[in-house]
Amino acid sequence: MSTATDTRSDLEDFHRWLGEKLRKGPTKFNVAQSIEEYRLYCEARDHFREELRPILERRARGEDHSVPWDKDAFLAELDRRLAEKGTLRHEQNPG
């Protein structure tokens, strides 16, 4: 997660994430806990993206056509990993 160099898009992403959580109903978390949950979400998302990066790079070079891109499978795996950490994702482009 970004630190002192946060950009407006980072802040907007946090607001979208928080807005999605609030639309689902009341939350038991206070502000500090919500920020920590978002931090954990970002760590899990970024880690998962790093795991996928070599595969996507090979595919972009035309070197790997063994497995077609399955967005639903990607999101299901991301949800599973986030659930292990006790957090949820909001809808966003995983790329």
What does the alpha-carbon distance between residue 30 and residue 17 come to, in Å, rounded to a whole number?
Answer: 15
Number of Cβ within 10 Å of residue 60's Cβ equals 9
Is the pTM higher than 0.75? The answer reads no
User: What is the model's pLDDT at position 6?
Assistant: 53
Query: What is the Cβ-side half-sphere exposure of residue 7, based on CA atoms within 13 angstroms?
Result: 2
Per-position DSSP letters for the chain, written without gaps between them: ---TT--HHHHHHHHHHHHHHHHT---S--HHHHHHHHHHHHHHHHHHHHHHHHHHHHHHTT---SS---HHHHHHHHHHHHHHTT----S----
User: What integer is the mean pLDDT of 47-63?
Assistant: 83
Please report, in angstroms and rounded to a whole number, the separation of the first and last CA atoms in the chain.
16
For residue 21, pLDDT beyond 70: yes
User: What integer is the mean pLDDT of 74-80?
Assistant: 82
Going by pLDDT thresholds of 50, 70 and 90, the confidence category of residue 85 is confident
User: What integer is the mean pLDDT of 11-16?
Assistant: 88
For residue 28, pLDDT beyond 70: yes
User: What is the model's pLDDT at position 90?
Assistant: 55
What does the alpha-carbon distance between residue 14 and residue 42 come to, in Å, rounded to a whole number?
Answer: 10
